[in-house]
Structure 1
Amino acid sequence: MHKEEKSNIKCKKSKINRSIQTFVSFIFVACAVLGLGRLGEAKGQVSDDSRGVVLGAHVARSSQEKDTLLPVETYFGNPAYASTEEQLKALQVTVNPEDKTAVFPDPLLRIGTVIRITRATPVTVVDGKTSMLYRTWTTTVKALFDEKKIDVGSDDSVSVKGDATLTLQMTITITRVQITHVTTREPIDYKTVNKDDPTLEKGVTKTQQQGKKGVRTKVFEVRRENGTEVSRTLKDNTVTQEPVEAIIIHGTKVVLLGEGIATWFGAPSLSAAHNSLPRGTKVLVTNVENGKSVTVTIIGGGIQGRAIIDLSPDAFKQLAPLGDGIMQVRLTKP
């Protein structure tokens, strides 16, 4: 046989082997896609009804499909790669830690692989001011919280009930509520009581009792939601210290400085002369006949005659006409 004929025979055999390999690959992939995994049992494969590989764990295909709320994703893994991770990377498919992945047949066979990804249910939890996306295989809100160790206080509120069934793209809002009691103290002004004392000279005052402010204590219940105060309710309002009133004594006793005749002379405004009272003394001069009064300041003495006080013209006019010249007056402490 010529060399050329031998070469042609080898080429034909190679083509036949490649065709057989392609046909076998097609049969395995078709079996995987159609769920006919039993064709691979004789070669040590796992069937559709048995447990498939899930990134190192195992999961039943039937469980995969019934537990998820999302459609099962199916991809064909390139036979050029001998691991599921490499095949998914080449496909640019991301698998979350909670997702389940089943493959058939084993990528090590290098005949192509059907990859089935079952996605965990995504649920967004807005916890106070923080938003977090969780993926879970649980079916109720309470189970999700237990799984993710999300604690809810007795005062906190949740937007859905604990036994509510999880749904796709569900958002659960937790409002963190803090109840505190705040105590404030406010001063209470004291009253001032004025009393007359007929034994004390008129114009004299003294403090019988010092005033002291009291204290009012208020207790508020403060409610904060996610750290922000939303209400403040008065729960208690008590006078914890009564105020002490101030007592001021005012003298009413009239001190008589004399009675007699008043005249007038050209003295400065509202001033007077008196022979015995010291300079600067204030004197209340009252006209005995009509009861009119005026207060003057003593500026000196030197009165001649029978008058006991000599008034400035303007002071005299407040008691009687200047033309009267004299009048009967009573002198007292103002």
Structure 2
Amino acid sequence: MNWCPVEWPTQSPRPTLARLEAKQSSKKAAMAALIGISSLLVMTSVVLGFALWSKTITIPKIIDQIESFICEMVTGEIPVNLRVDGKHDVVFTSSKDVKGLLVEQNIQLKSEDQVLPALTTSLEKNMDIEIIRVEVKKEYQHYAIPFKTERIANPEMARGFVKEVKGGKEGLQREVWSIRYENGVEVSRTCEVREELEKPVNSIVQYGTLSTVSRGGQNLRFSRALTMLATGYSYTGNNTASGIPPCSGVAAVDPAVIPLGTRLYVEGYGKVTALDTGGNIKGNRIDLFYETDTEALAWGKRHTRVYVLE
């Protein structure tokens, strides 16, 4: 029986120079990688710390960016900003264009709605997409059409008098407006139709042109005639507003209607001159002076025609 001599314990092969250099290089590479990673972490911490301190970035924003990066790398989806029906959301999509995104998000469009950008636009990361809901409503408005007045001269009527022969009536007009709303806000309105439903009926009046009347055998020329409420009055103990004592042929008037000093002819009384005023004499009123209270009371108060003489 032959015995093979064996050394105990076994001896490891002696390291060669190449093995030592390779091992040394691996350690250096590991150390360099560790130093690089540590430096990157330190720099990242400094940058993030400064950003947080200066408020140029927030924690939620960092989380959103991380989520976006993960989705893009893992699922191939990109984030886009979608604004529709008054809401703004960031959605992740793998669609290639805007139309595909709307189908993916189950967003229904009406015929008037607008999409910005167009449906065929290719999607890009962080693209802004807006759906403008458009609604067009009709509004009906009615307006009165004013009537005109036709004036006809009447030579048998005293100048200053007007008589309505036929009453007027307003017409009716309808307008149809188209009002455009975008996302519930009115942006424009256009009048599409303007039509006359009822024609106006013009009024007809006669105006007097007669400027001469014959009274007491005299032809009196006048500039205008008025119907006035006339009252008789007598001595009051005061002079007239013109400074003279009252006497027959003196009348008290409203200077805003008949200026003081104007010569008049009063039906039933005769010629007078406007020389006085009174506290109750306003508008188409006139007081006629009588020498006695009996005469003044006999006249009383009545409506009469007054001519303003030329």
TM-score (norm 1): 0.43
TM-score (norm 2): 0.46
- Larger relative contact order (Cα-Cα within 8 Å, sequence gap ≥ 6): 2
